[in-house]
Amino acid sequence: MQSNDARILRGSALVAAPVGIVATVVSALVAGEKGLVGGLVALAVVAVFFGLGSYALMRITQNTPQVAMTAGLLVYTVQILLIGVFIVAFQDATFFNGRAFGLSLLVTALSWVGGQVKQSLTSRMLYVQPEPSVAPKEAAGAAGAESRDAA
């Protein structure tokens, strides 16, 4: 994992965690125990799906940075589809409040994406990896050979 990727992942989590906690507390106050469970499940779903998605994107683009845009769109599409599948699978669940779950999920997911955008815009990333055109030993050897030929 590159340092920029780790910084973006950490920044996203640091933005989303407090928002998710506040959403969970509000859910608990409004909907009681089932609201608390709904908020906690939403927080866990966002942490797992978006955390794993970010990690997958980092792994995909580690060796082939040219596919970053395509891989990013694919990862986000899969994340949203998996969240949709999760929502459909648990729409009739009685152990948590569905409205508290949905609103907590929405707020926490949007804050995660906002944290990613903020970190991506404020981080200083090189677009290319600078590589010297001549290795240091070869450059020194070539300069010494030229000075001997001139003499």
Note the pLDDT of residue 6.
78
Note the pLDDT of residue 60.
85
Q: 3-class DSSP state for residue 114?
A: helix
pTM: 0.74
Q: What separation in angstroms does the CA of 17 have from each of 28, 51, 63, 93? A: 16, 12, 30, 25
Q: pLDDT digits over 89-140, tens only?
A: 888 888 888 889 999 999 999 999 999 888 888 877 666 666 767 766 655 5
Note the pLDDT of residue 2.
67
Q: What are phi and psi of 131, to 5 degrees?
A: -125, 135
* Token pair listed for 84: 């949709």
